[in-house]
């Protein structure tokens, strides 16, 4: 605004680096959101219609392998969705690179831990 | 009418909100939906270990299922669960609104305001419904 140098690299002269870096994350956040919405609806409808009162009916739902796989896919979508969202929060509020990278690393590790735990929970039924 | 600059009123400066000022800001409905979308997402993320632990208890065995039912009968646990259910419902309904906005549906100011109010109009009654069920009203 106050000098000519700051207006360079703006508009059509903008130097594009790392183009479409965020598009993949943006699209996957939406895709995983759709997966999660459909799975939630499916689960709620099954519970309301099928009646999962008691241990046998509830746990029985997760016995077929296809249901384990579908649930795991939904949970994988959840963890990836959570990663993008939490990453955005760190990027918005935490400016020091070192702290941000540490928080992002811990987030990834934590979500990986949750993912492996989810496999363990599902395949024990 | 003079051409000399008159001491004008100090123009308002728009700056980033500091944490201490958050409560003084009155957000329009779409802004409220937006920040609560972030808050509910963060809450759900932080509650992941709790949610997975409860899921584990519910599936592991009949014994652990019974234990879950026992833990879940405590009023405070019910309150925590209710908070998580609100977070889930708000995040889901607001998320669907964002997907529609992404498709350029309802991006006009008035439509965006209406849909923001609709988010609360759907998520809050559903939360109340779950609360009534949770605390055994029906």
For residue B25, give Cα distances in angstroms to A56, A109, B21: 50, 36, 7
Contact B58, A59 (CB under 8 A): yes
Per-10-residue mean pLDDT of chain A, 125 residues long, equals 54 67 89 97 89 84 95 97 96 93 97 96 93
Neighbours of A82 (CB within 10 A): 20
For residue B115, count CB atoms less than 10 angstroms from its CB and return exposed for 0-12, middle for 13-18, buried for 19 or more.
buried
For A125, which of B45, B59, B95 is closest by C-beta distance? B59
Residue listed under structure tokens 């395949």: A123
| Helix axes of B29-46 and B109-134: crossing angle, nearest 10 degrees | 40
Q: Is the pLDDT of residue B45 over 50?
A: yes
Report DSSP letters for B27-84, one per residue: --HHHHHHHHHHHHHHHHHHTHHHHHHHHHHHHH-HHHHHHHHHHTTSHHHHHHHHHH
Phi/psi of residue A13, each to 5°? -90, 0
ipTM over 0.90: no
Check CB contact under 8 Å for B42 and A86: yes
Angstroms from A59 CA to nearest CA on chain B: 5
Residue-wise pLDDT tens digits, B21-44:
777 888 899 999 999 999 999 999
Check CB contact under 8 Å for A82 and B45: yes
Could you tell me if A119 lies within 8 Å of chain B, comparing CB atoms? Answer: no
Chain B residues contacting A via beta carbons under 8 Å: 38, 41-42, 44-45, 48-49, 52, 55-56, 58-62, 65-66, 88, 92, 95-96, 99, 102
Contact A123, A71 (CB under 8 A): no
Residues in chain A with CB shorter than 8 Å from the CB of B102 are 30
CA distance A15 to A33: 33
Segment of A49-63, B6-20, B58-72 carrying the highest mean pLDDT: B58-72
Check CB contact under 8 Å for A40 and B92: yes
Give pLDDT, residue A4: 47
């Amino acid at each position: 605004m106050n000098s000519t140098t700051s207006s360079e690299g703006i508009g059509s002269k903008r130097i594009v680096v790392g183009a479409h870096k965020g598009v993949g994350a943006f699209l996957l956040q939406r895709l995983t959101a759709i997966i999660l919405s459909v799975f939630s609806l499916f689960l709620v409808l099954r519970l309301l219609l099928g009646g999962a009162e008691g241990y046998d009916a509830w746990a029985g739902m997760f016995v077929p392998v296809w249901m384990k796989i579908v649930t795991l896919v939904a949970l994988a979508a959840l963890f990836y969705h959570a990663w993008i969202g939490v990453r955005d929060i760190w990027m918005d509020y935490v400016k020091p690179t070192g702290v941000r990278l540490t928080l992002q690393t811990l987030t990834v590790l934590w979500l990986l831990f949750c993912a492996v735990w989810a496999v363990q929970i599902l395949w024990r039924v | 009418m003079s051409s000399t600059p008159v001491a004008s009123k100090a123009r308002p400066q728009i700056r980033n909100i500091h944490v201490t000022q958050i409560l003084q800001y009155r957000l329009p409905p779409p802004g409220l939906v937006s920040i609560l979308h972030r808050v509910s997402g963060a809450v759900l993320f932080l509650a992941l270990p709790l949610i997975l632990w409860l899921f584990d208890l519910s599936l592991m065995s009949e014994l652990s299922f019974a234990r879950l039912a026992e833990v879940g009968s405590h009023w405070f646990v019910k309150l925590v669960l209710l908070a998580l259910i609100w977070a889930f419902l708000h995040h889901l309904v607001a998320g669907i609104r964002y997907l529609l906005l992404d498709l350029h549906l309802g991006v006009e100011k008035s439509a965006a305001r209406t849909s923001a109010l609709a988010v609360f109009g759907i998520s809050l009654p559903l939360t109340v419904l779950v609360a009534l069920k949770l605390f055994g009203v029906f």
